[in-house]
């Protein structure tokens, strides 16, 4: 079960999926019962041998699996609203919805970024994270995974450490500003999970990114199941 969980969540953070702007066309409220374990299996097949590379965050602690049926519809409704709120508050971020989760991607053009070889949270990034924190407070029944990435420039081991430090910078900022550490998990992949072509300047800039995955916690899942059974 833990391997399936890791496959699912790593899938969320390493491939591009449904952009939030398309939620009205293919959201969980509409898909309902078709959301289920098959979603995790498909993502696992896509990721394949990439699982296990990079950071050592405890991914299994973040998600208990994809919820289907009426409970999945209820969870999807809440996550749709949260995704739309994030997109409204942080228009430069890439917001994606898949299964029960939300993936937010920040790169050098979208709100949370780092100077070359640095991992401190600058003033501009603080403003963006403060907006995200307000959304997390509005929707408290979620777990949050922060994942750091780099481009392929330089030494791979150095990039792995840099991505770790950047991910923890974001995690610590959230924690120091009122987000419970129990909601937070941190992971990092260095240059191992590029989404764009590292042979171009633009591609490298986009690969220097931080992903944040937001997923329903056990409280939200149990509440949805209770509501679905009434």
Does 174 have pLDDT greater than 60?
A: yes
Burial class of residue 124, CB neighbours in 10 A (0-12, 13-18, 19+): exposed
Domain residues for the domain of 203 are 2-229
CATH of the domain at 123: 3.30.1330.60
Question: What are the pLDDT digits (tens) for 106-163?
Answer: 877 778 888 778 899 989 899 999 999 999 999 999 888 888 888 999 999 999 999 9
Residue 105 is predicted with a pLDDT of 83
Question: What are the pLDDT digits (tens) for 18-55?
Answer: 444 434 333 333 332 232 333 343 233 222 234 334 44
Residue 65 is predicted with a pLDDT of 57
Number of domains in the chain: 1
pTM of the model: 0.75
Place of tokens 């979208």: 110
CB under 8 Å to 20, separation ≥6 — which residues?
83, 84, 86, 87, 95, 96, 97, 102
């Amino acid at each position: 079960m833990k391997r399936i969980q890791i496959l699912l969540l790593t899938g969320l953070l390493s491939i591009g999926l449904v952009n939030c702007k398309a939620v009205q066309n293919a959201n969980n409220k509409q898909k309902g019962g078709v959301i289920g374990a098959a979603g995790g299996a498909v993502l696992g097949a896509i990721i394949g041998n990439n699982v296990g590379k990079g950071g050592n965050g405890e991914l299994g602690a973040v998600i208990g699996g994809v919820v289907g049926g009426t409970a999945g519809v209820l969870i999807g409704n809440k996550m749709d609203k949260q995704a739309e709120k994030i997109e409204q508050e942080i228009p430069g971020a890439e917001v994606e919805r898949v299964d029960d989760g939300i993936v937010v991607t920040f790169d050098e053009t979208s709100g949370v970024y780092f100077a070359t070889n640095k991992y401190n949270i600058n003033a501009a990034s603080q403003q963006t994270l403060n907006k995200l924190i307000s959304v997390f407070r509005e929707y408290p029944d979620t777990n949050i995974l922060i994942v750091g990435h780099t481009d392929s420039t330089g030494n791979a081991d150095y990039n792995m450490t840099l991505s770790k430090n950047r991910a923890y910078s974001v995690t610590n900022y959230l924690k120091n500003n009122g987000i419970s550490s129990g909601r937070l998990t941190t992971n990092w992949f260095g240059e191992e999970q590029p989404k764009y072509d590292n042979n171009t300047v633009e591609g490298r800039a986009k690969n220097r990114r931080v992903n944040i995955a937001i997923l329903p916690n056990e409280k939200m899942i149990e509440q949805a199941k209770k509501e679905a059974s009434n």
